[in-house]
Each structure stands twice: as structure tokens, then as C-alpha cells.
């Protein structure tokens, strides 16, 4: 039977370690460029610390709540609906770096697509729980909610985040027991749709071609990928020392956001990069452990969904930095600069910590 436990200290330490490490690396990666543009060298660090405080408070509230509250249909639909409406509202705003992903709320720059992940986790966890006896009956509704969210985000455009939504849905459907044959059919149907999306926009075509052969256009479409690999490669085993990156000095674009892992590799080397990946491995381990030992199906799917949300995004980001996937604008959870991503990631961590309190004794 279930028993009340203290919080999962191992998971909590991993989340805190990544967040504090992220603050250090954000300052290292952004101080020079922030000062050069006329601002304080601490500008991005201060904003990240404020977001960390907000995310920590949100995670604590989620952690202290009764997890059964999150199973209520109205709550999941409300979170999902509000975040989806905010994503649509972002499409009406002037573009920033050729994308409409952000809303300005007073002094805060909000990226609703990051928070929409939480709404999708809540909705999908409840759907697959309700249809757990016949998991394939959850497919139409799950695909509808996921497709609607992904479709809106693709318009921003943000194909990377849309892909993370689809993978999150796939993970929960797989864990619910949907047959492999259904996934193969879905994959076959998705390939033409993905190809159409990629080739419908010139910048996506350029990214795909630069991924296949980045040195074909080293100063254009392949520039970011090449500079990222240079940063990682020059770090060697132990790196050039904290603060010793040269690529962050106006060579590698967005070194404190989507490509911060490249700066980790350059300054802290293979050892630092592996340590970061191991931290995400700990999150995956403890999250799946909480899911496996959850007292009921909804709690299991909630923990699994929150874990997948964090780990899938991390895997995509690291793969992009290492040149294993085409370039996508997706942050590294807890480490990259970005308040919305940090708050959403901590809420997901709070959900896992909540479920882990109610583990069932294993035989």
C-alpha cells in the first residue's frame, strides 16, 4: 500500500544542481555580450535568478498539492486552454528574430509554448488513465490535443517544440499499452507531413541541407552548427576553464540560450558535458522510478509525462549542439537562459516530486 515519504532528495539535488550550474554558465556565456550592448554584465544572470525563484515557488506549490487535484478534468483543460490561447495571442505580436513566440506582460517576456507543455502533460495523463483498459481508444483525443498544440506552435514557427509535443504524446501512449503496429502506421503517415513542413519554408530547407553538409555554406546556414562543433571540439577532455570560451565572443550565436551546452563543452570539456548529461540521466531514473512505484495509474502517467517533458527536450537540445540533429531553437532545461522554460521545467520537477511522495511498497 502507499506510504507518505519525504521528498526525493536525489531528484531534488539534481534539479537544484542543474539550475545553479545554469546560472553560472549563463553569466559566463553572456557577460561580455551584455556589457558590449550597453547593459550590465549581470543582466541575464539577474533575470534567470528571478525566474528560478518564481519556478521554485511554483514547484513547491505543485509539490505540496494533492496530486489527485491534477486529475480533475477542468484543471488540465484550463491550463491547456489558457496556454493555447496565449500561444495564439503571441502570433499577433511583432516578430522577434523572425518568430512570434513571446508575449510581453509588463517587465516579463513570456513564452507560452513552454507552459503549454504542462497543460499537455495534464490533459494526456488524464486521457490515457481514463482509457487504460482500452488504451487505443485514447488515440483520437490525444492526437487532437497534441496536434492542435503542435499546429499552433509550428506557426510561430517552432518546429522543435512542436516535435517535443509529439514525442511526449508518443511516450505516454506507448506506456499506456498502445500497440507497436499503431506507432508504425502513425510514423508512416507522419513522414510526408514532416517532409512537407520542412520543404515548405526556405530556412527549414537550408537547415536540413546544412545538417547534411554544414561546410557547404559555412558562413550562412551552416554557420551556427559549425561554430557549435568548434566550441565543443576545442574543449577537449577538461575544457579551457570556466570563463575561457572564445566562441561566446560573438562567434557562436545565442551562446547563453539554445547553444549553452556548446559553451559547457568548451569551458569544462568532455567531463563537464558528461556531468550535465548524467544529471538528466538522474532525472530520468528518478522520474521513471516515481512513475513505476506510483499508487495509481494517473499518478504514474503524470510522473512519466513530466519526466518525458524534461528529458526529451534535453535530448533534442544536446543532439542539436553536437550536430546529431538539424538546428532548432529549443532550450536546455534548467541550464539555458529563459524564464518561461525554467519555470515550466521546475513545475514538471514539482509534479515528479509530488508523485514520488506516495510510492507503493515493492514486493
pLDDT tens figures, 130-171: 887 788 888 999 999 999 999 999 998 888 899 999 999 999
What are the boundaries of each domain within the chain? 9-356
Statement: residue 9 has pLDDT above 80: yes
Report which DSSP code applies to 107: T
Report which DSSP code applies to 305: H
Average pLDDT, integer, range 88-101 = 87
Distances (CA, A) of 221 to 191, 192, 210, 317, 341: 23, 24, 6, 18, 26
Residue 142: partners with Cβ closer than 8 Å, 6 or more residues away:
124, 127, 128, 169, 172, 173
The set of cell numbers assigned to 14 is: 539534481
Average pLDDT, integer, range 65-75 = 91
Closest CA to 91 of 144, 157, 166, 165: 157
- The answer to whether the beta carbons of residues 336 and 256 sit under 8 Å apart is yes
Statement: residue 22 has pLDDT above 80: yes
Exposure string of 7-41, with b = 16+ CB inside 10 Å and e = fewer, is ebeebbebbeebbebbbebbbbbbbbbbeeeeeee
**Percent of the chain at pLDDT exceeding 90:** 57
As a whole number of angstroms, the distance between CA 197 and CA 183 comes to 20
Q: What is the mean pLDDT of the chain?
A: 89
Q: Answer whether 0.85 is exceeded by the pTM.
A: yes
* Cis geometry, peptide bond prior to residue 157 (ω within 30 degrees of 0): yes
As a whole number of angstroms, the distance between CA 79 and CA 70 comes to 10
pLDDT-derived band at 17 (thresholds 50, 70, 90) equals: very high
> Which segment, 49-63, 84-98, 239-253, 314-328, is predicted with the most confidence on average?
49-63
Chain segment 202-231, per-residue pLDDT in tens: 777 777 777 777 776 676 767 888 888 899
Amino acid at each position: 500500500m502507499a506510504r507518505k515519504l519525504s521528498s526525493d532528495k536525489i531528484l531534488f539535488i539534481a534539479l537544484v544542481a542543474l539550475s545553479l550550474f545554469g546560472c553560472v554558465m549563463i553569466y559566463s556565456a553572456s557577460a561580455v555580450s551584455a556589457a558590449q550592448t550597453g547593459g550590465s554584465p549581470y543582466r541575464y544572470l539577474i533575470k534567470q535568478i528571478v525566474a528560478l525563484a518564481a519556478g521554485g515557488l511554483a514547484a513547491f506549490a505543485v509539490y505540496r498539492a494533492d496530486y489527485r487535484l491534477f486529475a480533475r478534468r477542468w484543471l488540465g483543460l484550463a491550463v491547456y486552454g489558457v496556454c493555447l490561447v496565449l500561444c495564439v495571442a503571441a502570433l499577433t505580436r511583432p516578430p522577434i528574430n523572425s518568430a512570434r513566440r513571446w508575449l510581453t506582460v509588463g517587465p516579463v517576456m513570456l513564452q507560452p509554448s513552454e507552459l503549454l507543455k504542462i497543460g499537455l502533460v495534464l490533459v494526456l495523463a488524464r486521457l490515457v488513465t481514463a482509457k487504460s483498459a482500452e488504451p487505443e481508444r485514447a488515440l483520437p483525443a490525444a492526437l487532437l490535443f497534441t496536434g492542435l498544440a503542435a499546429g499552433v506552435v509550428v506557426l510561430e514557427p517552432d518546429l522543435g517544440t512542436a516535435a517535443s509535443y509529439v514525442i511526449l504524446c508518443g511516450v505516454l501512449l506507448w506506456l499506456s499499452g498502445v500497440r507497436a503496429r499503431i506507432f508504425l502506421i502513425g510514423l508512416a503517415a507522419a513522414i510526408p507531413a514532416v517532409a512537407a513542413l520542412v520543404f515548405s519554408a526556405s530556412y527549414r530547407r537550408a537547415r536540413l541541407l546544412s545538417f547534411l553538409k554544414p561546410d557547404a555554406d559555412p558562413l550562412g546556414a551552416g554557420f551556427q552548427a559549425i561554430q557549435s562543433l568548434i566550441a565543443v571540439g576545442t574543449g577537449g577532455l577538461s575544457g579551457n576553464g570556466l570563463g575561457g570560451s572564445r566562441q561566446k565572443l560573438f562567434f557562436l550565436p545565442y551562446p547563453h540560450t539554445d547553444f549553452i551546452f556548446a559553451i559547457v563543452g568548451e569551458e569544462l570539456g568532455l567531463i563537464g558535458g558528461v556531468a550535465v548529461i548524467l544529471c538528466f540521466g538522474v532525472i530520468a531514473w528518478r522520474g521513471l522510478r516515481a512513475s513505476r512505484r506510483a499508487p495509481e495509474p494517473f499518478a504514474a502517467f503524470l510522473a512519466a509525462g513530466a519526466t518525458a517533458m524534461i528529458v526529451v527536450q534535453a535530448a533534442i537540445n544536446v543532439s542539436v549542439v553536437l550536430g546529431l540533429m538539424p538546428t532548432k531553437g529549443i532550450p536546455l532545461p534548467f541550464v539555458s537562459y529563459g524564464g518561461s522554460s525554467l519555470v515550466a521545467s521546475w513545475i514538471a520537477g514539482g509534479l515528479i516530486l509530488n508523485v514520488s511522495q506516495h510510492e507503493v511498497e515493492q514486493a
